[in-house]
Amino acid sequence: MRQTSAAVTNQFDVIIGASGSKTDLLLATAFLQSKSLNLIPTEQMIDILAEDGLDFAAPIAFGDSYKSSPIIGTIAPFINHLSKDKLLEGKIFTTHEHAVIGANVKLKVGDVITPTHGEAMPEDEHHDEDEDEEHHEDEGAHNHEHVGSELTIVGRMQATATAWDNAIIIPIEMMWEIHGLANGHSEANEENIGLPFDNEYLTEASVMVLKPKSIAAAYRLRSEYDEHQTTAFFPAEIMAEFYMLMGDARQILTLMGYIVEALVIISILIGISIMFQLFSRQFAILRALGAPRLYIYLAIWGYIMSIVVVGIISGLLLAYGTSFLINDYIQSRVNISIVTSLSAAEIWMMLMALIIAAILAFFAPLAMMQQSITKQLARG
Amino acid sequence: MSKSLEIQNLKINTFGINGQTILDVPYFNLEGERELVISGASGSGKTTFLYAIAGLFLKLNGKVSWNRSNLYNLASVERDKWRSQNLGMIFQNFQLLDELSVLDNILVPTGFDSFFCPKDMIYKAEKLADEFSISIHNSTIAHMSRGEKQRIALARALIKDAPIILADEPTASLDEANARNILEHLRKISEEGDKTLIIVSHDPAVMEQIDNKLLLEHGKIIKNTLPTISNVGAA
Ligand SMILES: Nc1ncnc2c1ncn2[C@@H]1O[C@H](COP(=O)(O)OP(=O)(O)OP(=O)(O)O)[C@@H](O)[C@H]1O
Ligand SMILES: [Mg+2]
């Protein structure tokens, strides 16, 4: 998380989106979770692209996927920036049919892929959309030629510690074309790639990442575009908030772990005391009949240990069930796992519960045997 | 095989601030007599007396000696062992284990000695059940009548052929025929095996058949037909 937060703050200098949630925008940019973002109006996009004091202003378009990799459309300078100005292998895209892959994508430079439409996430929705499209094709809707669009992988980026490592990045022109939209260039320059765009042929994007030349420019742009039509911010502002939220969630999970632990120990204690209530006469009968100590001891010990084992197992299931539910929920929203496996603390807690239970199981029979036989017999 | 019993300065008090003396036996001696019936009004201390001579109290004031050795001088582990080896006991409220089957209830005392219940013991349990008309199949202890429970308790007390039999109202829940049968059986077994048989009972039939009688009132012996006590009591 900290690693991610640093990566995010360093690599996405100023983020601009349509007015709306900054967190959603950051999630879209860094984690490529583009849940129905609004589009930046073309007018504002043109203004931003015309700004001085910028190394680049990169529009980003989301939408398609290949296998589990999201396909993202943007411009070459941003890829170079993310990849620290040097690709891991290959080269940057130079035509519409080229693609660059993230460091962790399981493809090779030279591979040819045919992306499917829709986001990489939910499987069911995929099918529906695919069917729809096939249907369109049958009717001969030529605008939607993207089922047939083949992309050649020409390069691989260096690791960025963001979701971009799992992404396939294509020229934004291609992304727009795939969706039958104006590709940013006039018909005469149709095959052009990257900046500058022809303003009349520009399509709206959901996010723009800006790389200002100076801190002054960064602050100016941030304030200039943080108005009613657009939202602009430094990732660090949100990251701090975001990180705190995640920290809180993790703390809540830990706390819940402790609560479950306490509940397990309490229910074990209750189980033992119920056992005392229910069975003390039975044990007294056995003692009255002359049962050896070891016999009684093992009988009681067995009872307690079975309660303990049942208690701890159901406690574990309860604790992990709930924490995984919470984790799943968080993950479905931000694609970050905050519970990965059994932590040392949790194992220690379980051990503690077992140790406490074992001590109880050791002493409880002794305590029970100190009770008066005649008194217990009288309970019958 | 019968055992001598001697009680000296036995005093059992209830706990608490106003602890009362529920049993007070300065001296009692059973020497060579095999049978004894103890009677007395309800609350007179009969069950308490049986518990005391069975070594069931964790500790008490006075001495209870079987064959001249004080039971309460033994460590409680030893006393448990002594009970297991010497005592067949029938409790007033039977004290059966509802969780177990009829046969297993009868066999409980035999399970203390070995991990697996010996075959001949199972055979013996079945024989006892048969003798006392106990049906060992398809019945849950909890659903049984008091009479049935009483007979199971009796079978359990006899399974190990212990030299001392302590029976707290063994015929109280039985009809006349069953009561007679069981009393006869008890007396026969104790006679044949030269056992010591101590019965707590109000039953006139029991009182009639057993010569040696002890009468309790408010925790004290008020009548004793045994010859020895008068000597010592006078002393
Ligand atoms: N644990 C105890 N605490 C307080 N009082 C007790 C306790 N056990 C027995 N008693 C009292 O001691 C007295 C003798 O009880 P015991 O059970 O020996 O009478 P009993 O002669 O067997 O009566 P019954 O014929 O009703 O069975 C009774 O008054 C009883 O209430
Ligand atoms: Mg009684």
* DSSP assignment string, chain B: ----EEEEEEEEE-SSTT--EEEEEEEEEE-S--EEEEEESTTSSHHHHHHHHTT-SS--EEEEEETTEEGGGS-HHHHHHHHHHHEEEE-TT----TTS-HHHHHHGGGGGT-SSPPHHHHHHHHHHHHHTT---SS--GGGS-HHHHHHHHHHHHHTT--SEEEEESTTTTS-HHHHHHHHHHHHHHHHHTT-EEEEE---HHHHHH---EEEEETTEEEEE--HHHHHHHH-
Per-residue pLDDT band at A184 (split at 50, 70, 90): confident
| Single-letter code of the amino acid located at A233 | F
pLDDT tens for each residue of A99-137: 999 998 989 999 898 876 544 433 333 444 444 444 443
Rounded CA-CA distance A118/A116 in Å is 7
Q: Quick check: A65 pLDDT over 90?
A: no
Per-residue pLDDT band at A346 (split at 50, 70, 90): low
pLDDT at position A35 is 66
Using CB atoms, pick whichever of A281, A286, A373 lies closest to residue B56: A373
Using CB atoms, pick whichever of B51, B81, B82 lies closest to residue A374: B51
* Strand B5-13 to B61-66 pairing: antiparallel
Q: Quick check: A21 pLDDT over 80?
A: yes
Beta bridge partners of residue A209, listed in sequence order: A15, A58
Ligand nearest to the CA of B42: 1
* A1-6, Cβ contacts within 8 angstroms, sequence gap of 24 or more: A1/A243, A1/A246, A1/A336, A1/A338, A2/A243, A3/A161, A4/A30, A4/A161, A4/A162, A4/A336, A5/A239, A5/A242, A5/A243, A6/A161
Rounded to a whole number, what is the distance in Å from the CA of A379 to chain B's nearest CA?
A: 10
Q: Evaluate: CB of B47 within 6 angstroms of ligand 1.
A: yes
Beta-carbon contacts of residue A44 (< 8 Å; ≥ 6 apart): A225, A229, A230
pLDDT at position B161 is 93
Beta strands (DSSP E) in A19-146 are 54-66, 69-74, 89-90, 98-101, 112-113
pLDDT at position A1 is 47
Domains contained in chain B, CATH given: 5-231 (3.40.50.300)
Of chain A, the percentage scoring pLDDT greater than 70 comes to 81
What residue owns the CA closest to ligand 1's atom 16?
B45
pLDDT tens for each residue of B99-135: 899 999 999 999 887 777 788 999 999 999 999 989 8
Please, are residues A153 and A109 in contact by the beta-carbon 8 Å criterion?
Answer: yes
Ligand nearest to the CA of B91: 2
pLDDT at position A276 is 80
Rounded to a whole number, what is the distance in Å from the CA of A376 to chain B's nearest CA?
A: 11
Cis peptide before A196 (omega within 30 of 0): yes
pLDDT at position B231 is 45
Rounded CA-CA distance B169/B49 in Å is 13
Q: Which of A278, A289, A303, A377 to mutate to test the interface with B (most CBs of B within 10 A)?
A: A289
Torsion A55-A61-A62-A67 (CA) sign: negative
Q: Which residues on chain B are in Cβ contact (under 8 Å) with A377?
A: 56, 91, 95
Per-residue pLDDT band at A342 (split at 50, 70, 90): low
Read off the DSSP letter of residue A141.
Answer: -
Give the mean pLDDT of B19-45: 92
Instruction: Locate the chain B residue with the closest alpha carbon to A378.
Output: B93
Of chain A, the percentage scoring pLDDT greater than 90 comes to 13
- Residue entry with tokens 């199972």: B122
Rounded CA-CA distance A120/A126 in Å is 8
Out of A308-312, A336-340, B14-18, B162-166, the most confident range is B162-166
The pTM score is 0.63
pLDDT tens for each residue of B25-37: 999 999 888 899 9
Q: What is the token pair recorded at A106?
A: 């399981």
Give the mean pLDDT of A85-107: 90
Of chain B, the percentage scoring pLDDT greater than 90 comes to 64
pLDDT at position A279 is 84
Rounded CA-CA distance A34/A50 in Å is 26
Q: Quick check: B214 pLDDT over 90?
A: yes
pLDDT tens for each residue of B218-234: 999 998 888 754 444 44
In chain B, which among 68-87 make CB contacts under 8 A with chain A?
A: 77, 80-85, 87
Nearest-atom number in ligand 1 for the CA of B51 is 18
What are the boundaries of each domain within chain A? 2-233, 242-378
Using CB atoms, pick whichever of B56, B82, B111 lies closest to residue A288: B56
Using CB atoms, pick whichever of A281, A293, A374 lies closest to residue B56: A374
Q: Quick check: B1 pLDDT over 70?
A: no
Torsion A61-A63-A64-A65 (CA) sign: positive
pLDDT at position A370 is 84
Instruction: Locate the chain A residue with the closest alpha carbon to B87.
Output: A289
In chain B, which among 161-220 make CB contacts under 8 A with chain A?
A: none
B133 touches chain A (CB under 8 A): no
In chain B, which among 139-168 make CB contacts under 8 A with chain A?
A: 156
Give the mean pLDDT of A346-355: 76
Residue A301 or residue B7, greater confidence: B7
Rounded to a whole number, what is the distance in Å from the CA of A367 to chain B's nearest CA?
A: 14
Give the mean pLDDT of A77-96: 90
Rounded to a whole number, what is the distance in Å from the CA of B107 to chain A's nearest CA?
A: 11
Q: Quick check: A240 pLDDT over 90?
A: no
Per-residue pLDDT band at A143 (split at 50, 70, 90): very low
